[in-house]
Amino acid sequence: MAKAVKKTEENQRLIDTFQEFKESKNIERETLMRIVEDVFRTALARKYGSDARFEVIVNVDRGDLEIQRYREIVEDDALKYPAKQIKLSDAIKIEPDFEVGEEVTDYIRMTDFQRREILSLRQNLVTKIMEYEKDMIYAKYEGRVGELVSGEVTQVWRKEILVKDEDEVELILPKNEQIPSDKYKKGDTLSAVVLRVEVKGSAPNIIVSRTAPAFLERLMETEIPEVYDGLITIKNVVRAPGERAKVLVESYDDRIDPVGACVGIKGSRIHSIVRELRGESIDVINYTTNNSLLVARTLSPAKISTIEIDEANKTAKVFMNPDQVSLAIGKGGYNIKLASKLVGYAIDVFRNDDVEDEDVDLQEFIDEFDQWVIDAFKQIGCDTAKSVLKLTREELIQRTDLEEETVEALLLSIKKELELD
């Protein structure tokens, strides 16, 4: 009696497994039918022989199946292939009117399988379904590399963040693909681009990125209709994630200003992208085939005096007044580094004279301080970092009428930037 109870339990577990996968939204109805049929055909061939003839009818809607076996009736002493033949004496037990040469159809029920066979069926079904889901995930995302995806954060670890998309597919955002100031918690919505699809063991890992240039490009396509429609082409994108980015754009329609269209009125279009990139400053540059002009545009807001281009060695010597050098280099050197990557030239900056030491324009600190703070210093004639340091802390507080903590914070930032003790 105990064995019968155990067998019934295993039958129910197999049915429950079928029901579980039937309700999975990732598997199409026809595909699930085919997988279940293949699993049972394999089990039937193992149990009754490969020559046996069966028809497996899967009812996905009800979550059950029907197995029909077909055998030819032969004389009792003529039985040679038990897998596909049945003795006349056995056939008439099923239906008294049966005759030799006719075909008998009977049904294989789940109770005809042993407990071990039921366990094997269940395991094979689970394995086949999981293999199919893995193949489906790989096929889905292999062709989506570079595309924008979003999902819900499910786990936050020190080295990576786990995200699930709308189909419950797990996406991995490694630490080195996160913007330095990214802060996410469980339940947050996260956007990124598909970077690559890796296969570890038999499982595909979908790696996404928020630092890739393609992420900024996809965001611009989302926020700027002219880019999405192809009226404005993005020629190149370079980034220092969370700090600064440069985007080279071009329009084949003379009626469209590509830079203005991307930035929007009072920066309305670019602001949402900047927020998504955690305050990353974005320079949108109009493309030109004139390489000297292109280099000058990429170094904006610095004003260039002359440029010497060496096409053979892919270098550019840029000459400017001393007060423009800090603008060309930019805070942390990001402006000139990104400009070089954008145009494909190694850019070297030279002063028109070497009288003044290197300085940093005060406007470069805009990402740390509000504009009204910067303006307060400019109003007393302090336009650069070193001009601020020429005054004492007390003089700065008195003349700018700013809080002591604000003045102290700016002084610390300037000293850090100029690498002063």
Q: Taking the C-alpha atoms of 278, 283, 284 and 287 in order, what is their torsion angle to the nearest 10 degrees?
A: -140
Residue 155 corresponds to which tokens in the numbers above?
């786990």
Whole-model pTM above 0.75?
no
56-65: long-range contacts at Cβ-Cβ below 8 A with a sequence spacing of 24 or more? 58/32, 58/33, 60/22, 60/29, 60/32, 60/33, 63/15, 63/18, 63/19, 63/22, 64/15, 64/18, 65/18, 65/36, 65/40
pLDDT at 148: 94
Contact 339, 295 (CB under 8 A): yes
State the pLDDT at residue 353: 63
Instruction: Report the C-alpha gap between 16 and 10 in whole angstroms.
Output: 10
Q: In what order do the strands lie in the sheet with 281-286?
A: 232-240, 244-251, 281-286
pLDDT number for residue 35? 79
pLDDT at 5: 36
**pLDDT value for 96:** 85
**Is the Cβ–Cβ distance between 365 and 327 less than 8 Å?**
no
Closest CA to 261 of 301, 229, 225: 225
Q: Which residues pair with 245 in a beta bridge?
A: 239, 282
pLDDT at 179: 95
> What are the two backbone dihedrals, phi and then psi, of residue 172, each rounded to the nearest 5 degrees?
-115, 125
132 Cβ contact partners less than 8 Å away, ≥ 6 residues apart: 27, 31, 35
pLDDT along the chain (421 residues), means of 10: 40 56 61 80 82 77 74 85 82 85 82 79 80 80 89 93 89 94 93 89 86 95 93 95 94 90 89 93 93 92 89 91 87 92 93 65 86 89 87 89 90 84 58
Residues with Cβ within 8 Å of 337's Cβ and at least 6 positions away in sequence, in order, are: 240
Residue among 292, 275, 269, 276 at smallest CA distance from 284:
269
Beta strand 244-251 pairing with 160-164: unpaired
